Amino acid sequence: MTISRRVFVKSGGLALFSLGLDPLFLARAAFAVRPSAGPSDRRILVCLFQRGAVDGLNMIVPHGDPTYYRERPRIAVPEKDVLDLDGYFGLHPRLAALKPLWDSKTLAAVHAIGSPDATRSHFDAQDYLESGTPGVKATPDGWLNRYCQHDREHQDTPFRAVAFGPQLPRILAGTAPSLAIDDLQAFGLRAPQPAARDRLTRAFEELYAASATGLLSTSSREAFEAVQTLKRLDPGQYRPANEADYPRGKLGKTLLEIAQLIKADLGLQVAFADVTGWDTHVNQGASEGQLAGRLDELGQALAAFTRDLGERMGDVVVLTMSEFGRTVRENGSSGTDHGHATAMLVLGGAVNGGRVLGKWPGLDPAQRFEGRDVAVTTDFRDLFAELLARHLGARDLSAIFPGFTPDPARFPGAIRT
Amino acid sequence: MKTRIVWSVLTLGILPVGIAAQQPALTPQDSAFHALNRLAYGPRPGDVRRVAADGVMRWIDRQLSPEEIDDHRLAEREGQFQILEYDRRDLAAMYTEVQRERRERKLAADTMADRDGGSPIAQRDKRLTGEFAELAVVRAALSERQLYEIMVDFWTNHFNVYLAKGADRFLTPDYIEHTIRPRAMGKFADLLLAVAKSPAMLFYLDNWESVAPGSVPPAALRVSARPIFGRRPGLFGPMRDSARQDSMRRRALEGMPKGINENYARELLELHTLGVDGGYTQQDVIDVARIFTGWSIERPQQGGDFEFHDWAHDRREKQVLGVGFQAGHGMDEGVRLLKMLAGLPATMHHVSWKLCQRFVRDDPPDGCVDEAVAAWRRSSGDVREVLRAIFHGPDFWAPDNGRAKVKTPLEFVVSAARAVSAEPDTSPRLAQVVARLGEPLYLHVAPDGYSEREAAWVNSGALLDRMNAAVALATGKLPGVTVVLDSIVGVGDADQVIGEVNEKILGGAMSENTKQVLGRELAGISDPIQARALAVGLALGGPEFQRQ
């Protein structure tokens, strides 16, 4: 079946009845039709993985609940510091850079979101979040890669799926081409003169083309394609727009490079990066301190990214995600231990912003998961599926999340419809 | 991958009879090459020939007794590393001083503080940290005790700590030198206990401040007063309850740990021993954490030693995996638990599986694991007997498992350095290359350690970086690393150079295509020295050399 989504969108889906397509397909496809904002093949999803389990309760603070303050005498964010969002939830003060985005309704939070699997192991939980198959370890690929495998309408440019970092993460592992870039400027072979560089590149390309096997073969092919493209881009010359001021550090640099790739129109559709430092077992801090420092960098970097991209943010959605949340009650060392549900942020022009989405289970011990952690009321796959369907236009969600039947009725409603 | 190895039963008279009979065998050269790639960080020029002539099984047996291998050349090189002259207290004092200076400079709004490389002491601190990573690479490259160095790397990852986490900055060198290295080829239970008591691990996984709820250190009790603890004023006589004293007291107590921290307990079960499917529950994790309450560090910020705090220990009964731990046995409870965990089938299986993954293939064959577990049982967890079982087993020598593993960045860099007889100095150049390729040593933040799987390392960006590193090494562009190609590949015509590169660097595995590409590239270069460097660079950066 080769019907381009553009045709589909134009015809509103109705024309397809006459083509004899099965109704199930249409039911799945119905929510693929998404609102305005630029041609669909320009839409981009940026995923930031807060690896280490971010404390959702100190990021999006339930300051309206006295239990929160009772359970966290040393690390609760004081009422006076919280940036109120809706009378009950508030932003951590060091996320202040994101408040204007909330006010302009391009930032939403999904609370009490997580995995249906109960594991409190970082590694299992990260694995499940990336494979998109909680409880099933044998899944060979990641859900972002499966999206690229199954959405064949988008061209597989070398830059369609890019992970920023020295390693290709599990979430992008799989048969669809994907790229790992640690430093955009240094990507490629180095030699004193361009002619020597080109020769070296060609020689290695030929070595790998004929003799490499397995992963060495596919990865090298992707590498050399990307090198050819970047040769024309000249990333060293990039200057952010609108006086966007990215914070120093890895996250700022990564988001700057993502912005650059987006503006270069190289076919980037899925970008991924890790943000570490959330495993706050000890001295987590409240308005200030360890977690505050990490949130500050996150907020500043996302604000700069939004400013830099300007109108282009209409095509972009940024998602933050984390493997699980942390205990409601602070632990013995002024930190928090591994918990269950957490909060995720969704940001961008198409976002149904200015609200905390998801069903809030409450913090009372009886409402908690196993009596200690925030309960999961939104399966993270419902949010991921919504972004893939309503933002990127994915159709075959059950192939992307095997063993799971995504249901638009359960989507948290992060994308405007 | 096409195995170009000629299997022949005849040539391997040295293999144990049972194995040789059921298993096609490699030529002596090929089996030596395979063993040098797995039990060592790849062959140096001449190694394959020497090991093949001597008998590969004899070489393996020698590697299993590292204490009997003379390693004076490495010992001399180690003498150049100043980091080994500092103990953890020295390093702690230096670190504290650097932090103090940094704070002062910040207060003085000295914006140059970070840019000029800092004060002499800050520079020394930085240099020693760089030396420490380089030392691991130098040992891997130069030691005659190759299998031992591989096992040090294995345990360093199995019992991972993160150098950049607070006190681990100065506790990690001591951990590697005195906890991991002396026990890398001993009994697993001894290593497990030593790790549990090491300040580096206690700090990394937060156990040092895991205390029974409600426990208070004796020192805090002495300064505290009636209103809080309902005691009579102690040593310091009647206390005036001034507001100031009150708030000082409260602040001192607020900073104290208030209860258990599950971090170490969970990783002990999940990563160090049973494995994530080892059949434990959340309640087991909690009870393990309770057993280890009080396992702490005397003055961690000063690089202090392990200390058991009886006052912090949970005095109630505990139960782990259905086994009761009677109340009131203090530190012995933890020792007993560690011994128990070390001998459980799940632990044997989990650790054996990881060893087979390291030495045989990413998805280890069941047979390899079974034989390793059997050896574990027979020897009560003697690591060298487990290794011996793996190296004598048919899976290790199976044709499909030859060159089945992609080198990790550390393995790639060290094997490349060995292939060209590189002489690294104490500057952190080679360690920096390893870091750039994705494996900064001692800097894996999560407790699972670096991965053995090829998917973790093979990606487009990392491959290009490997090619760059290979060319830089071959052309002598890595400062601090001396490479003299004359001793490996002579200067000659293209065919001659390619032939020698194939034999000495790729163990004869060079594909026809690689030969052709090299031939063409070399033909365009008039300077024979440059041509040779290019041939070596392309070989080290090419696809054949990425596998082992």
Q: What is the DSSP string of A158-176?
A: TTSEEEESSS--GGG-SSS
pLDDT of A8 above 50: no
Mean pLDDT within B271-280:
95
Contact between chains at B206 and A206 (C-beta distance less than 8 A): no
Mean pLDDT within A57-81:
98
Of the listed ranges A191-195, A285-289, B243-247, B436-440, the one predicted with least confidence = B243-247
A37 vs B276, more confident: B276
pLDDT at B76: 96
Q: pLDDT tens, B283-308? A: 999 999 999 999 999 998 899 999 99
pLDDT at B180: 98
Query: Distance between the two ends of chain B, CA-based, in angstroms?
Result: 11
User: Cα–Cα distance between A100 and A257 in angstroms, integer?
Assistant: 23
**Nearest Cβ partner of B538 from A51, A204, A334?**
A204
Distances (CA, A) of B7 to B4, B10, B84, B348: 9, 9, 46, 33
- 8 Å CB contact between A356 and A109: yes
Which amino acid is residue B203, in one-letter code? F
pLDDT of B239 above 60: no
- 8 Å CB contact between A373 and A341: yes
- 8 Å CB contact between A261 and A309: no
Interface with B, mutate which of A211, A279, A280 (most B CBs under 10 A): A211
Interface with B, mutate which of A172, A185, A220 (most B CBs under 10 A): A220
Closest CA to A342 of A145, A129, A86: A129
**Nearest Cβ partner of B467 from A123, A189, A338?**
A189
Contact between chains at A337 and B270 (C-beta distance less than 8 A): no
Contact between chains at A332 and B406 (C-beta distance less than 8 A): no
Contact residues, chain B, for A168 at CB < 8 Å: 455, 458-460
- 8 Å CB contact between A389 and A32: yes
> In Å, how far is B139's CA from the nearest CA of chain A?
25
Contact residues, chain A, for B261 at CB < 8 Å: 281-282, 331-333, 335, 337
A154 vs A237, more confident: A237
> In Å, how far is B148's CA from the nearest CA of chain A?
28
- 8 Å CB contact between B212 and B258: no
> In Å, how far is B17's CA from the nearest CA of chain A?
34
Percent of chain B with pLDDT over 70: 87
Of the listed ranges A48-57, A234-243, B276-285, the one predicted with least confidence = A234-243
pLDDT at B93: 94
Q: Which residues contact B200 (CB under 8 A, 6 or more apart)?
A: B161, B168, B171, B172, B174, B175, B179
Mean pLDDT within A210-231:
89
Contact residues, chain A, for B544 at CB < 8 Å: 211
Contact between chains at A124 and B276 (C-beta distance less than 8 A): yes
Contact residues, chain B, for A370 at CB < 8 Å: 282
Contact residues, chain B, for A123 at CB < 8 Å: 270, 276, 446, 448
pLDDT of A16 above 50: no
Contact between chains at A211 and B270 (C-beta distance less than 8 A): no
Contact between chains at A282 and B261 (C-beta distance less than 8 A): yes
Contacts A–B by Cβ distance under 8 A: 162
pLDDT at B246: 65
Minimal-distance CA residue of chain B relative to A168: B459
**Nearest Cβ partner of A207 from B257, B437, B517?**
B517
User: Which one of A31-40, A226-235, B537-546 scores highest in mean pLDDT?
Assistant: B537-546
Contact between chains at B262 and A181 (C-beta distance less than 8 A): no
**Nearest Cβ partner of A204 from B1, B263, B467?**
B467
Mean pLDDT within B80-97:
94
Contact residues, chain A, for B438 at CB < 8 Å: 166-167, 182
pLDDT at B534: 94
pLDDT of A11 above 60: no
pLDDT at B249: 63
Minimal-distance CA residue of chain B relative to A212: B543
Interface with A, mutate which of B206, B263, B264, B460 (most A CBs under 10 A): B460
Contact between chains at B213 and A332 (C-beta distance less than 8 A): yes
DSSP class per residue in A347-389: EETTB--SSEES----SSGGGSBTTTBPPP-EEHHHHHHHIII
Contact between chains at B463 and A190 (C-beta distance less than 8 A): no
For residue A294 the two structure tokens come to: 């990490």
pLDDT at B6: 37
Contact between chains at A332 and B209 (C-beta distance less than 8 A): yes
pLDDT at B245: 65
Q: What is the DSSP letter of B187?
A: B
What does pLDDT average to over chain A?
88
Minimal-distance CA residue of chain A relative to B467: A189
Q: pLDDT tens, A356-388? A: 999 999 999 999 999 999 999 999 999 999 999
> In Å, how far is B289's CA from the nearest CA of chain A?
12
Mean pLDDT within B8-21:
41
**Nearest Cβ partner of B261 from A203, A331, A370?**
A331
- 8 Å CB contact between A302 and A318: yes
Q: What is the ipTM of this complex?
A: 0.86
Q: What is the DSSP letter of A152?
A: -
Q: pLDDT tens, B142-179? A: 999 999 999 999 999 999 999 988 899 999 999 999 99
pLDDT of A89 above 90: yes
Contact between chains at B460 and A203 (C-beta distance less than 8 A): no
User: Which one of A3-7, B218-222, B239-243 scores highest in mean pLDDT?
Assistant: B218-222
Contact between chains at A180 and B514 (C-beta distance less than 8 A): no
pLDDT of B234 above 50: no
Q: pLDDT tens, B125-140? A: 889 999 999 999 999 9
Q: pLDDT tens, B26-74? A: 799 999 999 999 999 999 999 999 999 999 999 999 999 999 999 999 9
Percent of chain B with pLDDT over 90: 72
Contact between chains at B257 and A333 (C-beta distance less than 8 A): yes
**Nearest Cβ partner of A282 from B209, B285, B544?**
B209
A244 vs A15, more confident: A244
pLDDT at A33: 35
> In Å, how far is B544's CA from the nearest CA of chain A?
7
pLDDT at A12: 35
Contact between chains at A216 and B465 (C-beta distance less than 8 A): no
Q: Which residues contact B323 (CB under 8 A, 6 or more apart)?
A: B340
Contact residues, chain A, for B546 at CB < 8 Å: 212, 216
**Nearest Cβ partner of A226 from B213, B454, B460?**
B460
pLDDT of B223 above 80: no
Contact between chains at A331 and B258 (C-beta distance less than 8 A): yes
pLDDT at A18: 37
What does pLDDT average to over chain B?
88
Contact between chains at A207 and B436 (C-beta distance less than 8 A): no
pLDDT at B251: 58
Contact residues, chain B, for A334 at CB < 8 Å: 255, 257-258
pLDDT at B446: 81
pLDDT of A7 above 80: no
Contact between chains at A180 and B259 (C-beta distance less than 8 A): no
pLDDT at B3: 40
Contact residues, chain A, for B275 at CB < 8 Å: none
pLDDT at B363: 96
pLDDT at A233: 81
**Nearest Cβ partner of B511 from A210, A282, A332?**
A210
Distances (CA, A) of B174 to B57, B74, B160, B181, B322: 34, 19, 14, 10, 36
User: Cα–Cα distance between B185 and B66 in angstroms, integer?
Assistant: 9
Count other C-beta atoms under 10 Å from residue B238's C-beta.
9
Whether this model's pTM surpasses 0.95 = no
Contact between chains at A332 and B259 (C-beta distance less than 8 A): yes
Contact between chains at B513 and A207 (C-beta distance less than 8 A): yes
Q: Are strands A270-275 and A44-50 parallel, antiparallel or unpaired?
A: parallel
Contact residues, chain A, for B541 at CB < 8 Å: 204
Contact between chains at B513 and A211 (C-beta distance less than 8 A): yes
Mean pLDDT within A175-182:
86
Count other C-beta atoms under 10 Å from residue B117's C-beta.
12
**Nearest Cβ partner of A215 from B436, B437, B458?**
B458
pLDDT band at B227 (very low <50, low <70, confident <90, very high): very low
Q: pLDDT tens, B96-126? A: 999 888 878 766 655 444 455 678 888 898 8
Contact between chains at A332 and B458 (C-beta distance less than 8 A): no
Q: pLDDT tens, B371-411? A: 999 999 999 999 999 999 999 999 999 989 999 999 999 99
Contact between chains at A123 and B446 (C-beta distance less than 8 A): yes
pLDDT band at B370 (very low <50, low <70, confident <90, very high): very high
pLDDT at A157: 79
Contact between chains at A123 and B276 (C-beta distance less than 8 A): yes
